[in-house]
Structure formats: C-alpha cells, structure tokens
C-alpha cells in the first residue's frame, strides 16, 4: 500500500507556511507573522519528531532511513527562510519605514538609547562566564535558550545568555528603528569581559528532546507530569544551532564541550529563535500591511436578553468560529455557573487560555454549590504546566478534577449542563471540533454544536460516567454509543462501515462520494479503506492541513489550505445515496487519535446546519487563490485558475457566507 512519510509530509505543510511568507499577495506584516510561525513549528519538530528519526536512523538500513532526506529538506527550507527574510521582508519593511537592524552597525544617533537600555534594564539579567573548552563541562545550556559565544584575544572563550524569556526580543528605537536584544548585548561585550579584547561573537542554541513518556514515572499522575516537565528541560539535545560564520574549529570544540553529536549540528544565521518575529513592533500608516478587520458575526437566536440555555433547549445552534462570535460559548458556561436550576456541569479541558474565562466560570459554579466535574488532560503536550495550574485552582474551589486516564489522552471537546426544573431534568450539551480556549478561538476555524438532543446529551452523560468510573459502555449493560462516535468504542468501526457503504453503492452504479477535512491523516487502516473505496469508484475529496500519508490517485483528490486563520475543524460527509450523513468532531485520523485517545465525533442532524456545513466545504473545495493541490510527492501545487474564472478565497468566501445567514 503506497504511503507518504509522515515527517516529510509535515515538512511539506511547513513549507507551505513558508510560502505564505514569500507571497507578495499576502500583506507585509502578515508575511512576517508566517515566517515566525514557520520557525516556531520547526522548533517543535526538532523537539518532538527529530529524536524518533535519529533513533530510527541508528537501527534501520541506510537505504530505508528517512533522516538524510529530512535533513536535506530542512537545509533547503532554511536557506529559503533566510532568503525570504533578508532579500524580501527586511527591505519591504524598511520601505514602510520599519528598520530592523540585521547585522548592521547601529547608527551613532541610536548608540545612547541602546547603551541606556543595556545598563538600566538588560545588565541585571546577564550571567557572563569564561569557558575552559579543554576542561570538563562547567555549565548546562537550557532548552531553546539563546547564548552568545565570545572569542577573546587570549585564546579563551566566554559565553553570555540572551535573556529573551525575561525581556522583549526587540528594542524599539526612535523613527521606527528596531534592534535585536542580541545586538544590545553585542554592543557591550567589552564591559562583560573587561581587560580582554573581543575578537569574535557567534550565537548558539540547543533544542532538547520533549518526548518523555509519562508512564515512566511512578506515583500520582499529577506528580508524574510535574516531574516530566522538569525532565523535559533536561532532555538530550536534538539540535545544536550555531552561526554559520563560526570557525569550524570552534564549532567542533563547542560540540565536544557540550557533548553534541555531529548529527545534531545545524548551521544557522546570525540570529536564532526567529519565532520571536511575531513580537516585532511593526507600525505603518499603510493599512495594506495587515489583514483587514473581519469582525465576528452575531448569531440572531443567541442575541436576545433571555436565557441562552433556554434557547438551546428549543433548537440546536451550530457556530462557525471565528467567523461567528465565540462569546456565546463563554456565556454558556457563565449562565450554567449562576443559573439556580443548574445542578451539575461536566466538561473536558485539553488546552485552555492562560487567563481562561471559562475556567473562572467553572470555579464560580463550584463556589455557587453546583457539582462541577472537569476532566483535565494533564498530558496535553506543552500545555501541561498551564493545565496543572488551573487544575489545582479548580480543585481548591471544590471542582471535582479527573486527572486523565492511564494509557489514554482525553482529546474530546465536550461539555454537559444538567438543569433541574421541578421533577424534570434538562440536558444541554456542547460539542466542538476545537478546544475551549478563548484565545485560539480568534484565529482557529472550528465548529461548535449547542444541543439538547436527547440521544446526544444522554450519550455525553454516559461518556462522563465512563471517565469517572471506568465502566465500559456496552450493549450488554445497556450503555453504548449510537449517536456519538467515540474513539475506543465505535468510532473506527462506524467510519469504516460508512466508507464501505459508499464503496458498495459505487459498485451498484449509485452515486458515491466522500468528503473529509482533517488536520492530519496517517492511520493505515483508514487509508486502506479510502484506497479500496476509490478503487470501487467512490469520488473522494480530502482537505488535509498538515500530516498526510495518503497518496493521491484516481478518485482521490487532495488539497491543503493555509491562510489567515488556522484550519482546525474535522468534518466528515458521506453521500449515502442522497441521504447524506455529516459528522464533525475532535478526531484526526492518526494512530494516536483513533487508538490512544478519547475522541468524540458528533452528527449534524438539523438539515439547515447540515447544508451550511456542505456549503462551507464546497467554498473550500472551490478555493483557487490560497489552496494548493498535493501531488504524489507531497509537493504543494498551486490551484490553476482558468482565464476569466473568478478568484475564490475560501476564508473570505466563508466569512461572507456566514454573515449572510
């Protein structure tokens, strides 16, 4: 069965992000933002995927190991990154009056404010040391921290930290001139290393392995994860990034001193951690330098003065964020926290905002005497510390906290409110394709169903019973999932059955079509089912943002959309001989999602909303400006627009569509 490599397909996605930074049709300041996203993504790749690739390289035959191909692709992309920044973006910024010093001598007029900033602000954060490179290592390089290696006239070397985690990476000077924090320090090395002439200065950083299995640890899960966070910062190096101008002899000496293997050495530019470009203080009188405002649309049924919970009780509401207001989700939790008839609240939390209003509402609910149960996924990578902090605060307020499930991550995005009026209980559910996070909701495209559907809400309650008790829902104990598709239970079987039904319809000569939108597609069983369906004559359209291991062939069309907003929703549409079934949810088709997580996909029953979802998908399939076609080599091939054909941008088109509802 033909499959594309998952890591090369991810690099193809990040190359598409880089392509947005190089695209002159993208507003200038947004191009800088895409460059920072590319850099941030790459750091995570080195922390999460590179350790596995390096391990495989040691055990696989040379002709099967993918590491050399990955390294070659990384080298090519980093060269393109440097060209895009230095040859395109920096000159374009300067033309707009935004001058970022990039290896240039700072103007004499700016020496004084740089000097004042160094002595009054920066100096107190610095720890300059002299290194004895021929002696045992005397210091530890922190993960992704920035350092300057300083060459001294007497043949010795110094090292000084760049405190970008404590101070802004950029200093704004008069007349829209900007200088790196790195260069503020470079200007004053003679003060840090007195009586020794400085003969050279080069930047370095180490990226460390972030993949530490929580199952390694013994004891309470909360303690395990807190221990893991400490160990992560001490992980083995996966990349030693150094200024390419550094002499080879010095590079090799540093590698030996810090115990860096040759395979971990990576040449870079003068500056590292260019994800910090997202913080670049850019201003211009030219409005074309940024995306125009796209204010979120109100949803008429939820705009009234009455209870939002009452409105949902009467009729389902499907939200399309960020095109529509996310405020209603915060209001859902706020009302539940204060409504005297609400007795119980259940919610899963995977990634929450650092100042989450939703979590504050849950804390208030508990203090208001309600029974609040929250499944906090402590193993959400890189959000563990934030989740631990919130979990402790909620527990102190009386919230019942469920700390994950051994061997599983709870990735589902669901909530349930139980309200008692007289002798009657209302169940009001919330099911989403994205996290309950007010911050990311501004730029992640997701869909959220608010519903009182009896079957869906009863099965939500059943799911929370399972997460609390571990009692497995089955037909034999009269607890099982029918409306919801839940990983570990029926999700894989149901998706498989729906794909096979389309294949059978195609063999009968009936119309057969599948449209799927995912973040990642890698699980072999599901790919095999799609191949078999295509061979049977099913027409399959896939929109896959990131990792994509399926190889396009006859009947399988594959595209990717990278634009202003991060495409994040998972949508599944099966033609079913005209009786279409539409599902949405949290589950990508990856091994981890289908076999090692609790995921929930939910049906869209309301015909009006089902049509909205289909219309939105059709707009994305018609995109001929930002969409690219993925070919068998995972290359991003721009969609060709025929002469006279109108331009279609999916996100602009969806924004207009949603505002007409």
Q: What is the pLDDT of residue 617?
A: 98
**Do 331 and 469 sit in the same domain of this protein?**
yes
Closest CA to 43 of 183, 241, 179, 226: 241
Query: What integer best gives the mean pLDDT of the chain?
Result: 92
Lowest-confidence region among 183-197, 395-409, 568-582, 621-635: 395-409
CA 526 vs CA 562, 573, 634, 660: distances in Å: 24, 15, 19, 36
Q: Would you call 536 helix, strand, or coil by DSSP?
A: helix
Residue 421 annotated as binding?
A: no
Same domain, 552 and 447: no
Looking up residue 148, the CATH number of its domain turns out to be 3.30.1840.10
Q: Report the largest interatomic distance among the alpha carbons of the chain, rounded to a whole angstrom.
A: 87
pLDDT at 485: 98
pLDDT at 219: 46
* Residue 286 maps to a domain: no
DSSP 113-182: HHHHHIIIIIGGG---EEE-TTS-----PPBT-EEEEEEETTS-EEEEEE-TTTS-SEEEETTTEEEEHH
Query: For 447-489, what is each residue's pLDDT tens digit?
Result: 999 999 999 999 999 999 999 988 776 655 556 899 999 999 9
568 is in an annotated binding site: yes
Q: Quick one: which H or E segment has residue 610?
A: helix 607-621
Choosing from 433, 457, 483, the residue where a domain stops is: 483
Structure-block tokens of residue 359: 């979590």
**500-530 residue pLDDT tens:** 999 999 999 999 999 999 999 999 999 999 9
pLDDT in tens, 370-383: 999 999 987 766 66
Q: Which residue has the tokens 């078999």?
A: 532
Instruction: Tell which wins on pLDDT, 572 or 144.
Output: 572
The residues, ordered by sequence, that sit 6+ positions from 276 with a Cβ below 8 Å of its Cβ are 36, 164, 169, 170
Q: Is the domain of 146 the same as that of 63? A: no
Residue 317 sits in the same domain as residue 412 = yes
- In terms of average pLDDT, the best of 45-59, 195-209, 275-289, 550-564 is 550-564
Average pLDDT over every residue of 347-366 = 94
CA atoms within 13 A on the CB side of 271: 27
Please check whether residue 292 lies inside any domain of the structure. Answer: no
Active site residues: 411
Does 272 share its domain with 339? no
Position 138 scores a pLDDT of 62
First to last CA, the chain: 44
Who contacts 346 (Cβ-Cβ below 8 Å, separation ≥6)? 372, 373, 374, 415, 416, 417, 418, 460, 461, 464
Q: How far is 610 from 608, CA to CA, in rounded Å?
A: 5
Total domain count for the chain?
Answer: 4
Among candidates 281, 307, 47, which has minimal Cα distance to 170? Answer: 281
Q: For residues 605 and 192, what is the distance between their CA atoms, to the nearest angstrom?
A: 68
Same domain (yes/no): 444, 356: yes
Q: At what angle do helices 384-396 and 221-233 cross, to 10 degrees?
A: 150
Mean pLDDT to the nearest integer, 111-137: 91
Instruction: State which of 247, 281, 315 marks the end of a domain.
Output: 281
Q: Is the pLDDT of residue 134 over 80?
A: no
Position 291 in a domain:
no
pLDDT band at 217 (very low <50, low <70, confident <90, very high): very low
Q: Indicate the pLDDT class of residue 233, thresholds 50, 70 and 90.
A: low
59 and 147 assigned to the same domain? no
Same domain as 134, residue 41: no
Which residues, in sequence order, are CB contacts of 318 under 8 Å at separation 6+? 447, 448, 449, 450, 604, 606, 609, 612, 613
Q: Which residues is 589 bridged to in the sheet?
A: 521
- For the stretch 12-51, pLDDT in tens is 999 999 999 999 999 999 999 999 999 999 999 998 888 8
Helix (H, G, I), strand (E, B) or coil at 472: coil
- Helices 50-59 and 28-48 pack at an angle, to 10 degrees, of 40
| 381 annotated ligand-binding residue | yes
Which tokens go with 301?
Answer: 């049924």
Q: 115 CB contacts (<8 Å, ≥6 apart)? A: 187, 188
Phi first, then psi: give them for residue 175, nearest 5 degrees. Answer: 60, 40
Residue 319 CB-half CA count within 13 A:
32
624 is in an annotated binding site: no
Whole-angstrom CA distances from 274 to 23, 42, 84, 170 are: 19, 10, 13, 11
Residue 293 forms part of a structural domain: no
* Domain of residue 522, CATH code: 3.30.870.10
Statement to judge: residues 271 and 125 lie in one domain: yes
Q: Can you give the CATH number for the domain in which 8 is found?
A: 1.20.58.310
Do 263 and 337 reside in the same domain of the chain? no
Q: And the tokens for 655? A: 């924004």
Res 646 pLDDT > 90: yes
Average pLDDT over residues 215-227: 50
Indicate left, alpha or beta for 345 from its phi (over 0: left) and psi (-120 to 50: alpha). Answer: beta
Strands 146-152 and 129-131: unpaired
Q: What is the mean pLDDT of residues 188-215?
A: 84
Could you tell me if residue 634 is inside a domain? yes
- Looking at residue 368, what DSSP letter applies? T
CA distance 419 to 328: 18
Q: Please give the torsion angle defined by the CA atoms of residues 623, 572, 600 and 483, in that order, rounded to the nearest 10 degrees.
A: 140
Judge whether 613 and 571 are in contact, CB under 8 Å: yes
Complete edge-to-edge strand list for the sheet that includes strand 170-173: 99-100, 177-180, 170-173
DSSP helix/strand/coil, 429: strand
Residue 414: which of 394, 387, 443, 436 has the closest Cα? 436
Any binding-site annotation on 545? yes
Tell me the average pLDDT across 251-276. 92
Q: Is 444 labelled a binding residue?
A: yes
Q: Are 15 and 636 in contact (CB under 8 A)?
A: yes
How far apart CA 9 and CA 185 sit, in angstroms, is 39
Count Cβ atoms within 10 A of the Cβ of residue 485 and give its class: 0-12 exposed, 13-18 middle, 19 or more buried.
buried
How do 198-208 and 237-243 pair as beta strands?
Answer: antiparallel
- Percent share of the chain, pLDDT over 70: 93
For strand 424-432 and strand 539-544, is the pairing parallel, antiparallel, or unpaired? unpaired
In a domain, 294, yes or no: no
pLDDT of residue 354: 87
Q: Is 4 within 8 Å of 549 (Cβ atoms)?
A: yes
Provide the pLDDT for residue 382: 67
Residue 400: domain span: 300-483
**Two tokens, residue 536:** 């049977």
Query: Which pLDDT tens digit goes with each residue over 322-350?
Result: 999 999 999 999 999 999 999 999 999 99
Write down which residue in 452, 483, 514 finishes a domain: 483
Q: Do 133 and 25 belong to one domain?
A: no
C-alpha distances in Å from residue 261, one per residue of 238, 250, 251: 9, 15, 12
Q: Looking at the domain assignment, is residue 16 inside a domain?
A: yes
Backbone φ, ψ for residue 198 (5° rounding): -85, 125
pLDDT confidence bin for 216, thresholds 50/70/90:
very low
Q: What is the pLDDT of residue 471?
A: 74
| Domain membership flag for residue 290 | no
- 3 state DSSP class of 590: coil
Residue-level pLDDT at 214: 44
For residue 63, the model assigns a pLDDT of 52
Mean pLDDT, range 551-559, rounded to an integer: 97
Q: Is the pLDDT of residue 57 over 80?
A: no
Model confidence at 215, pLDDT cuts 50, 70, 90, reads very low
Q: Quick one: 355 and 416 in the same domain?
A: yes
- Length of the chain as a residue count: 661
pTM exceeding the 0.85 threshold for the entire prediction? yes
């Amino acid at each position: 069965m033909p499959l594309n490599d998952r890591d090369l397909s991810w690099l193809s996605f990040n190359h598409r992000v880089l392509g947005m930074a190089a695209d002159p049709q993208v507003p200038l300041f947004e191009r800088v933002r895409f460059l920072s996203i590319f850099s941030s993504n790459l750091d995570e790749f080195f922390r999460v995927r590179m350790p596995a690739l390096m391990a495989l390289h040691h055990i696989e035959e040379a002709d099967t190991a993918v590491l050399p191909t990955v390294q070659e692709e990384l080298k090519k992309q980093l060269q393109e990154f440097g060209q895009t920044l230095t040859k395109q973006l920096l000159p374009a910024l300067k033309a707009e009056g935004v001058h970022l010093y990039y290896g240039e001598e700072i103007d004499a007029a700016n020496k004084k404010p740089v000097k004042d900033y160094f002595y009054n602000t920066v100096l107190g954060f610095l720890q300059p040391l002299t290194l004895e490179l021929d002696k045992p290592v005397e210091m530890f390089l922190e993960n992704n921290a920035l350092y300057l290696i300083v060459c001294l006239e007497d043949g010795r070397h110094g090292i000084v930290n760049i405190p970008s985690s404590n101070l802004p990476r950029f200093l704004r000077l008069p007349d829209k001139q900007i200088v790196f924090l790195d260069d503020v320090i470079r200007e004053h090395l003679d003060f840090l290393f007195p009586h020794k002439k400085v003969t050279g200065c080069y930047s370095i950083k180490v990226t460390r392995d972030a993949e530490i299995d929580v199952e390694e640890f013994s004891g309470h899960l909360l303690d395990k994860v807190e221990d893991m966070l400490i160990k992560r910062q001490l992980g083995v190096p996966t990349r030693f990034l150094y200024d390419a101008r550094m002499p080879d002899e010095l590079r090799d000496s540093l590698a030996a001193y810090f115990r860096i293997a040759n395979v971990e050495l990576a040449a870079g530019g003068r500056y590292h951690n260019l994800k910090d470009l997202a913080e670049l203080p850019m201003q211009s009188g030219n409005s074309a330098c940024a995306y125009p405002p796209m204010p979120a649309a109100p949803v008429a049924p939820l705009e009234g003065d009455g209870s939002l919970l009452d409105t949902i009780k009467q009729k389902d509401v499907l939200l399309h964020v960020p095109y529509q207001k996310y405020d209603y989700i915060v209001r859902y939790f706020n009302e539940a926290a204060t409504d005297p008839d609400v007795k119980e609240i259940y919610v899963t939390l995977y990634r929450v905002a650092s100042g989450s209003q939703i979590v504050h509402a849950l804390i208030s609910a508990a203090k208001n005497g309600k029974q609040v149960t929250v499944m906090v996924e402590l193993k959400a990578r890189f959000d563990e510390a934030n989740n631990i902090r919130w979990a402790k605060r909620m527990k102190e307020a009386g919230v019942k906290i469920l700390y994950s499930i051994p061997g599983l991550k709870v990735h589902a995005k669901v909530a349930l409110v139980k309200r008692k009026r007289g002798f009657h209980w209302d169940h009001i559910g919330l099911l989403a394709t994205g996290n309950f996070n007010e911050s990311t909701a501004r730029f992640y495209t997701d869909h959220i169903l608010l519903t009182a559907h009896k079957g869906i809400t009863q099965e939500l309650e059943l799911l929370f019973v399972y997460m609390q008790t571990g009692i497995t829902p089955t037909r034999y104990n009269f607890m099982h999932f029918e409306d919801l598709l839940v990983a570990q239970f029926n999700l894989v079987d149901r998706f498989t059955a729906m794909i096979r039904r389309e294949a059978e319809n195609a063999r009968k000569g009936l119309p057969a079509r599948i449209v799927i939108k995912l973040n990642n597609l890698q699980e072999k069983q599901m790919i095999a089912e799609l191949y078999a369906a295509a061979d049977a004559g099913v027409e399959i359209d896939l929109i896959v943002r990131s990792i994509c291991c399926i190889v396009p062939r006859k009947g399988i069309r594959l595209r990717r959309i990278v634009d202003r907003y991060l495409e994040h929703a998972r949508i599944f549409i099966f033609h079913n001989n005209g009786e279409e079934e539409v599902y949405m949810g949290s589950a990508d088709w990856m091994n981890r999602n289908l076999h090692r997580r609790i995921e929930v996909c939910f049906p869209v029953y309301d015909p009006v909303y089902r049509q909205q979802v289909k219309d939105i998908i059709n707009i994305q399939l018609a995109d001929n400006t930002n969409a690219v076609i993925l070919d068998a080599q995972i290359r991003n091939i721009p969609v060709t627009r025929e002469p006279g054909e109108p331009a279609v941008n999916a996100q602009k088109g969806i924004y207009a569509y949603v505002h007409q509802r």
